[in-house]
Structure 1
Amino acid sequence: MPGSETSGYALSAIQEQAGRWSYDRQRLGHRSPDVEAALRAVVGVYSSHPSAPLSLRARAKGFTTEAFRRLDADRRALRLPAMRGSIHLLPRETAHLAFRAAPEPPSGLRQRLKYFGIAEDRYPELREAALAAADEPSTARDLGQKLREATGYDGSPTPVLSGMAREGVLLRVGAEGPRSNALRYVATQTWLGDDLPAADADKALAWLAGEYLRAFGPARPEDFRWWAGVSKGRAAAALETVETIELEDGHLLPYQDLQAFEAAEGPGPDAVDVLPKWDCYTMGYAPDGRERFVHPDVRGRVYTPAGDGLGVVLVGGTAVGAWEARFSGKVMEARLDMFERPGARLKRILDGRFGEIAVLLGAREIRFA
């Protein structure tokens, strides 16, 4: 992962080795045996489609839309608010810990209700009616109709359903297609046969800190704080519970990983990976901690001003371009922003990779802008 000679910037030794190590720990290059193993390897992926399926596709061997769909259908993964308050697709056995690590403060619900013009004292009535109605996976529209019939409430069901999801009493269930975000809602007790397990927030965050360093380390406390979306104090306290060794520039690594980290070889120089918008790897570090895979000179072409990752093309583990796509009927229109003109070999590979993505997302044709 060389630095840029024109800018005079060069990666530090820790950043170079972190790039090699992280590529493997993120299971890029289809290094996970299946979609569920890929999900466990990275703690969780952003729930939004097509980001979730494309993130797992970049990591799992033999990815199929059916295997992805079964994560939801078989209750092997749950969609819950987690890191940074964003909805994530999480392995069922640990989903409650990611969820409990940073609970929404009561003010969040109050502000949401106020914004939508719902009296705070009416929420319990609406909550009870929505729970009774969500005895099977239902769309927000269907639940809104049932709320009207049960309570006379004719406003948007969104603040009620969102508040219940952030309480953990309502779950989102994924849409059938990898491109659709038409999520359904179902009562947690109905879907799982019980409530989400309880967990102390600080103990859950300590668990999350260990998982973060396993999947994203070596990383600085600021990187973990940004990724988890918690205060500096809570982040520091959680990291203190993990047995780590401090490398250069405050980067922490689980102590037991040191020998393997030093020996990591990383991807070959010709390895090509296409990651989607909001991929867990690109969203895993604070804005000034992303040098292991993106050069500072082009960071603004890979991220929005708010810090959200765009789609990215990696070659040898390093960002060489960004991408976005939109659909017009059955045509996927892809806009590639390559930082340098690709050679003939890379162009052929990218044509093939994006063609596969287009087919996965239900397109019959792909056009490059």
Structure 2
Amino acid sequence: MRHISDTERRARLGRRHGLAPALRLPDPEAATRAMTVLHATEPATVYLALHARVDGLRVEDVDRVLYDDRTLVKQLAMRRTLFVFPRDLLPAAWGSASARVATALSARLAKEAVQAGLTDDGAAWLARARAATLAHLAAAGALTAAELREQVPALAGRLDTALGKPYGGSFPLAPRILGQLAVEGHIVRGHNAGSWWTSRPRWTLMRSWLGDLPAALPEGAGYAALVGRWLATFGPGTVEDLQWWLGSTKGAVRSALAEVRAVEVTLDGGTTGWVLPEDVDEVPATEPWAALLPVLDPTVMGWKSRDFYLAGHGPALFDRNGNAGTTAWWDGRVVGCWVQDPDGVVEVRLLEEVPAEGRALLEVEAQRLTEWLQGRRVSTVYPSPAMKEPR
């Protein structure tokens, strides 16, 4: 059985994720495909993740593929997370990861509506709200959430859940119902009414946004397509890595691995990983490289087991809920994070000793990112402990 060491895993990461300057990717579509999907929970992450991988990237280049060409599309999917998908991968998600989330969310929302006293039949209530929203969007076209709340009575109310408990409260209905329709693939976040670092989408029907829609793949085929793309990006990985990333079951993962004819390999630490059958050969190392990645970057969030590139820095770089803050990379390993000063200048904060060559290349990346941001300070709701550390 082939053995793939942590050193080689870092070499694969450097080559395939477009992070080494000599291996950056030609455009936003290529960079997104290289990563399978991009995290989009925070809108700025999409732009910053692409900037890290594409030389000469402009904000307009990302806007074009998202809103004009629509070759990249936002879709709620794995682990109830918003991602940017290559358009051709959407049917795989609709039939598998998104469908799984949609089932769970609809059951929860229907139950909470009954508990809150909004209805005696949660499923029927939700069906009416969904139908009213879709009918209004079909007639009125793209609308913001605020506009929909004003124009669709079913979206105007609030949901009181678990009152008196830390996780409870009174929440507006509109985000829950719009999120349900989005994960089902009926509606999509269209043109952004705000700036690139904010999220004010105009919701629109998916069929209006993309035209003729392909059918969702059957569940098994959908998971197999996602697993095949993931292995090309992140392989080798373990069953546990895939189960976490997909938000699925071990059974679904094992079936998908069999479908793509994945090959077992051994990893450092004695664990078993998987690669695509055409990906068994050794991957040589690149020249040492540096990179600065944003909050929730897909590279940082690609695996559940991260020791081969985090080297024990996880508690400093992730919040308590497992959300990654910014990261600074040297030669395939995370060595710190980055922040901005009051003037928007990017500063690297190291968590370990880095050779002079690495510090110099990290400074090059800091200057590159500072110039691209042009004084714009990008905030986040997921700052890591290292980012919050006073200096």
Counterpart of 1:29 in structure 2 is: 20
For the aligned residue pairs, the C-alpha RMSD in angstroms reads 2.7
Shift of the 281–365 alpha-carbon distance from structure 1 to 2, 3 Å rule, reads closer
Counterpart of 1:357 in structure 2 is: 369
Counterpart of 1:225 in structure 2 is: 243
Counterpart of 1:3 in structure 2 is: none
Size of the aligned set, in residue pairs, is 345
User: How far apart, in 2, do the equivalents of 1:365 and 1:239 lie?
Assistant: 42
Shift of the 226–365 alpha-carbon distance from structure 1 to 2, 3 Å rule, reads closer
Alignment of 1:1-369 (within 5 A): 14-30=5-21, 31-47=24-40, 48-73=42-67, 74-102=69-97, 103=99, 104=101, 106-115=103-112, 117=116, 118-119=118-119, 120=122, 121-135=124-138, 136-148=141-153, 153-155=156-158, 156=172, 157-173=174-190, 175=192, 177-195=195-213, 197-248=215-266, 249-259=271-281, 262-266=282-286, 268-269=287-288, 271-286=289-304, 289-295=305-311, 297-324=312-339, 331-332=343-344, 336-340=348-352, 349-361=361-373, 363=375, 369=391
Counterpart of 2:383 in structure 1 is: none
Q: Please give the secondary structure, in 2, of the residue aligned with 1:308.
A: coil
Shift of the 159–196 alpha-carbon distance from structure 1 to 2, 3 Å rule, reads farther
User: Aligned-pair distance for 1:130?
Assistant: 1.6
Q: Please give the secondary structure, in 1, of the residue aligned with 2:336.
A: strand
User: Aligned-pair distance for 1:125?
Assistant: 2.6
Contact 2:8 2:283 in 1 (8 A): no
Contact 2:330 2:358 in 1 (8 A): no
Shift of the 194–315 alpha-carbon distance from structure 1 to 2, 3 Å rule, reads same
Shifted more, 110-119 versus 200-209: the winner is 110-119
Q: Please give the secondary structure, in 1, of the residue aligned with 2:279.
A: helix
Q: CA offsets, 1:256-311, max 9 Å, x none? A: 1222xx14223x22x1101111111111111xx2133221x222222223322221
Q: Please give the secondary structure, in 2, of the residue aligned with 1:246.
A: strand
Shifted more, 122-131 versus 44-53: the winner is 122-131
User: How far apart, in 2, do the equivalents of 1:214 and 1:139 lie?
Assistant: 37
Q: CA offsets, 1:180-234, max 9 Å, x none? A: 1222211112112234522101110011111111110011111111111101111
User: Aligned-pair distance for 1:350?
Assistant: 4.3
Q: CA offsets, 1:314-333, max 9 Å, x none? A: 0111111023559x7xx437
TM-score by length of 1: 0.84
Shift of the 357–100 alpha-carbon distance from structure 1 to 2, 3 Å rule, reads farther
Q: Which runs of 4+ in 1 moved over 6 A?
A: none
Contact 1:139 1:183 in 2 (8 A): yes
Shift of the 335–196 alpha-carbon distance from structure 1 to 2, 3 Å rule, reads farther
Shift of the 342–177 alpha-carbon distance from structure 1 to 2, 3 Å rule, reads farther
Contact 1:209 1:238 in 2 (8 A): yes
Contact 1:311 1:323 in 2 (8 A): yes
User: Aligned-pair distance for 1:143?
Assistant: 1.0
Task: Give the letter for the 1:275 counterpart.
Answer: L
User: How far apart, in 2, do the equivalents of 1:44 and 1:196 lie?
Assistant: 19
Q: Please give the secondary structure, in 2, of the residue aligned with 1:293.
A: helix
Q: CA offsets, 1:43-69, max 9 Å, x none? A: 110113211111111112321111101
Structure 2 residues without counterparts, runs of 5 or longer: 159-171, 379-389
Shifted more, 131-140 versus 272-281: the winner is 131-140
Q: Please give the secondary structure, in 2, of the residue aligned with 1:273.
A: strand
User: How far apart, in 1, do the equivalents of 2:55 and 2:315 lie?
Assistant: 31
Shift of the 343–258 alpha-carbon distance from structure 1 to 2, 3 Å rule, reads closer
Structure 1 residues without counterparts, runs of 5 or longer: 1-11
TM-score by length of 2: 0.80
User: Aligned-pair distance for 1:100?
Assistant: 2.2
Contact 2:224 2:260 in 1 (8 A): yes
Shifted more, 176-185 versus 229-238: the winner is 176-185
User: How far apart, in 2, do the equivalents of 1:310 and 1:332 lie?
Assistant: 17
